[in-house]
C-alpha cells in the first residue's frame, strides 16, 4: 500500500480531509450542506461573486435551501470566487454546468475552464471527482488526459466520476438516501472515492468503469424523457377520442406488474431531461448509430406544447374573443411543482409562442419564482383572488404547486386548461 493511498483513506476515515466543491448551484450547494452535516470541512468555490457574498451573509439563493443551512455551512466551511484554495483541499468535486450549444452539441466549456484554472493548484495525494453530467468518455477526455502527465493516476492522485442524482422538490436531506453511483480509473481510485461518499450517503453503487457511470446518468434521464414523450402523445390521442388520459392511466395502473405510471404534462423542463438526452444523442452520432428514440421523444415533447396552444386559440375563437383583447393567466412558471427552478420551463416557451400568435395580455402567477423571473410584456400576479381570477378569459395550469388553492381557482375561473390533471374534466375545465 503506497503512502498517498494510505493517507487518503486515513483522512477520509477520520474525517480530517478538506472537501473542495467547485460550482455552488443546484448540485454543489446541497452537497456542501450534506458534507458539513457529516462533519467534513468544505471549501466552496464559484465564479459568481454574488453567490459567495450571499453565502457569507447566511442568505440562501435557492428556495429549497434554508438560511439556517447556509449558516451551518459557514461554521465549517469557507467560500471563495477564485481557485487558489484548491491546493489545500484533499478532495475536489466539480459540479459546474454542462449546457448545450445552439446546435444542440455538448458545451463542455465550464469543465474545460475549471480544469485549466485548477490544474496548477492540484497536488499529489488529492482526489478529483467530476459530478457534472456529460457523455461517456468526458472524464477521461477532459480531465484524465489533461493531468496524467503531472500525476500517476491511481498511485499518487485519485480520479473518478460520480453522477449527481438530486431530485428537485424533495427534501434536500433526502439526497443522502439516494444510492450514490461511484467510479474510478483504478482500484485505488474507486476505493478512495467510494469510502469518501460512503461517509455521507446511505448506499454506494459501484460502477465497473467511469464510462458506465457516465452513461447510467444519461440513461436515467433519457428513460424519463422517452416515457414522458410517450404519455404526452397518448394524451393528445386520448383527447382526439374525447377520452381523459388520466382516467385511462388510473385503470391501467391497476395492473400489478409490467406497467409504471407516468403522467402527461406540458412538456419537459429543468436542466437535466431536456439537455442530457442530447449528450448521448451527440455521442451516438459520433459512433455511427444515431439513437432514434432520443430524437423522437424530444420532438414529441415539443409537439405537446403546440397542442396546448391550439387549445387556447380554439377556445378564444369559439368565444369570439380577439387574440389581442384576450386575457390569459399562466398558473405556475417553474418546470415542476414545489420548486423555484424555471430552467427550460415549458411555461416560458408557451408564453413566447402566445406572444407570437398575437396574444398580448398575458399574466403569470407563481409564488416560487415571482421574485426571480422577469419576462418582457408579462404582468405578474402576486396573489390570487376571486376577482382577479374572474378577470381572465382562460387560466392555464402549467405547474401544479401544492400551495395553490385549487377550489378557489375552479370556482372563479371562466375556463381552465389543465395541463397537469389536477382538476376533473367538466364544466369549465379542459385538458391541455
Mean pLDDT of 64-91: 93
Give the pLDDT confidence of 348-357 residue by residue, as tens digits.
999 999 999 9
How far apart (Å, rounded) are the C-alpha atoms in residues 429 and 432? 9
Mean pLDDT of 356-363: 95
DSSP string, 397-420: E-S--TTS-HHHHHHH-S-EEESS
How far apart (Å, rounded) are the C-alpha atoms in residues 365 and 370? 7
Q: Which residue has the higher pLDDT, 274 or 425?
A: 425
How far apart (Å, rounded) are the C-alpha atoms in residues 91 and 42? 9
Cα-to-chain-centroid distance, residue 346:
14
The pLDDT-based confidence of 408 (bands split at 50, 70, 90) is: very high
Buried b (16+ CB within 10 A) or exposed e, 381-403: beebeeeebeebbbbbbbbbbee
The pLDDT-based confidence of 376 (bands split at 50, 70, 90) is: confident
Mean pLDDT of 9-38: 95
How far apart (Å, rounded) are the C-alpha atoms in residues 371 and 301? 28
pLDDT at 1: 57
Q: Find, among 196, 343, 195, 332, the residue nearest to 269 by Cα.
A: 343
How far apart (Å, rounded) are the C-alpha atoms in residues 299 and 295? 6
How far apart (Å, rounded) are the C-alpha atoms in residues 184 and 190? 4
Coil, helix or strand at residue 379: strand
Q: Find, among 204, 153, 161, 152, the residue nearest to 184 by Cα.
A: 161
Please say if the pLDDT value at position 32 is more than 90: yes
Fold for the domain defined by 245-431: Rossmann fold (3.40.50)
Q: Which residues are catalytic?
A: 272
Please say if the pLDDT value at position 64 is more than 90: no
C-alpha torsion sign, points 252, 253, 255, 259: positive
Q: In what order do the strands lie in the sheet with 204-206?
A: 77-80, 41-45, 18-22, 91-94, 127-130, 158-161, 180-184, 204-206
Fold for the domain defined by 3-208: Rossmann fold (3.40.50)
Please say if the pLDDT value at position 173 is more than 70: no
Mean pLDDT of 349-372: 93
pLDDT at 171: 53
* E runs forming strands in 197-252: 204-206
Mean pLDDT of 60-70: 88
The pLDDT-based confidence of 372 (bands split at 50, 70, 90) is: confident
pLDDT at 388: 96
Please say if the pLDDT value at position 168 is more than 80: no
Mean pLDDT of 262-266: 90
Cβ(399)–Cβ(422) below 8 Å = no
Query: What is the distance between the terminal CA atoms of the chain, rounded to a whole angstrom?
Result: 62
Cβ(42)–Cβ(72) below 8 Å = no
- Contacts with 316 (C-beta within 8 Å, 6 or more apart), sequence order: 322, 323, 326, 359, 393, 394
Give the pLDDT confidence of 149-164 residue by residue, as tens digits.
999 999 999 999 999 8
What are 275's three cell numbers?
439537455
What is the percent of the chain where pLDDT is above 70? 98
The pLDDT-based confidence of 135 (bands split at 50, 70, 90) is: very high
Average pLDDT taken over every residue of the chain: 92
What are 405's three cell numbers?
388553492
Q: What backbone phi and psi angles, to 5 degrees, belong to 240? A: -65, -30
Q: Which residue has the higher pLDDT, 427 or 84?
A: 84
Cβ(295)–Cβ(281) below 8 Å = yes
Domain boundaries, the chain: 3-208, 245-431
How far apart (Å, rounded) are the C-alpha atoms in residues 102 and 99? 10
pLDDT at 213: 97
Give the CA distances from residue 129 to residues 27, 67, 158, in Å, rounded to whole numbers and listed in that order. Answer: 14, 28, 8
Give the pLDDT confidence of 191-204 residue by residue, as tens digits.
999 999 999 999 99
pLDDT at 387: 95
The pLDDT-based confidence of 96 (bands split at 50, 70, 90) is: very high
| Residue pointed to by grid coordinates 449546457 | 99
Buried b (16+ CB within 10 A) or exposed e, 216-235: bbbebbbebbbebbbbbbbb
Cβ(196)–Cβ(127) below 8 Å = yes
Amino acid at each position: 500500500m503506497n503512502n498517498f493511498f494510505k493517507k487518503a483513506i486515513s483522512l477520509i476515515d477520520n474525517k480530517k480531509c478538506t472537501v473542495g466543491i467547485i460550482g455552488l448551484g443546484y448540485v454543489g450547494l446541497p452537497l456542501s450542506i450534506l458534507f458539513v452535516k457529516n462533519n467534513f470541512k468544505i471549501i466552496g468555490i464559484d465564479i459568481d461573486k454574488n453567490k459567495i457574498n450571499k453565502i457569507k451573509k447566511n442568505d440562501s439563493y435557492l428556495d429549497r435551501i434554508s438560511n439556517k443551512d447556509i449558516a451551518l455551512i459557514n461554521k465549517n466551511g469557507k467560500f471563495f470566487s477564485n481557485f487558489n484554495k484548491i491546493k489545500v483541499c484533499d478532495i475536489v468535486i466539480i459540479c459546474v454546468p454542462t449546457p448545450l450549444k445552439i446546435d444542440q452539441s455538448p458545451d463542455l466549456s465550464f469543465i474545460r475552464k475549471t480544469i485549466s484554472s485548477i490544474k496548477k493548484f492540484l497536488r499529489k495525494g488529492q482526489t478529483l471527482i467530476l459530478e457534472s453530467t456529460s457523455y461517456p468518455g468526458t472524464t477521461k477526455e477532459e480531465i484524465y488526459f489533461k493531468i496524467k502527465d503531472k500525476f500517476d493516476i491511481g498511485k499518487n492522485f485519485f480520479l473518478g466520476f460520480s453522477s449527481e442524482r438530486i431530485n428537485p422538490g424533495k427534501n434536500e436531506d433526502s439526497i443522502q438516501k439516494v444510492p450514490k453511483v461511484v467510479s474510478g480509473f483504478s482500484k485505488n481510485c474507486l476505493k478512495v472515492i467510494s469510502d469518501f461518499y460512503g461517509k455521507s450517503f446511505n448506499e454506494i453503487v459501484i460502477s465497473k468503469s467511469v464510462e458506465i457511470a457516465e452513461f447510467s446518468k444519461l440513461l436515467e434521464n433519457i428513460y424519463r424523457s422517452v416515457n414522458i414523450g410517450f404519455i404526452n402523445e397518448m394524451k393528445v390521442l386520448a383527447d382526439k377520442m374525447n377520452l381523459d388520459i388520466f382516467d385511462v392511466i388510473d385503470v391501467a395502473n391497476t395492473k400489478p406488474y409490467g406497467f409504471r405510471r407516468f403522467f402527461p404534462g406540458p412538456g419537459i423542463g429543468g436542466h437535466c431531461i431536456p439537455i442530457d438526452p442530447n449528450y448521448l444523442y451527440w455521442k451516438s452520432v459520433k459512433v455511427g448509430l444515431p439513437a432514434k428514440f432520443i430524437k423522437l421523444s424530444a420532438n414529441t415533447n415539443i409537439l405537446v406544447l403546440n397542442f396546448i396552444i391550439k387549445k387556447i386559440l380554439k377556445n378564444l375563437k369559439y368565444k369570439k374573443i380577439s387574440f389581442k383583447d384576450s386575457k390569459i393567466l399562466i398558473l405556475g412558471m417553474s418546470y415542476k411543482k414545489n420548486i423555484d427552478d424555471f430552467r427550460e420551463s415549458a411555461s416560458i416557451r408557451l408564453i413566447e409562442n402566445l406572444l407570437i400568435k398575437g396574444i398580448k395580455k398575458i399574466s403569470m402567477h407563481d409564488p416560487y419564482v415571482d421574485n426571480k423571473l422577469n419576462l418582457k410584456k408579462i404582468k405578474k400576479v402576486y396573489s390570487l383572488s376571486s376577482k382577479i381570477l374572474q378577470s381572465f378569459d382562460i387560466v392555464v395550469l402549467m405547474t401544479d404547486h401544492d400551495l395553490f388553492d385549487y377550489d378557489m381557482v375552479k370556482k372563479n375561473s371562466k375556463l381552465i386548461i389543465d395541463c397537469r390533471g389536477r382538476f376533473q374534466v367538466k364544466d369549465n375545465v379542459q385538458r391541455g
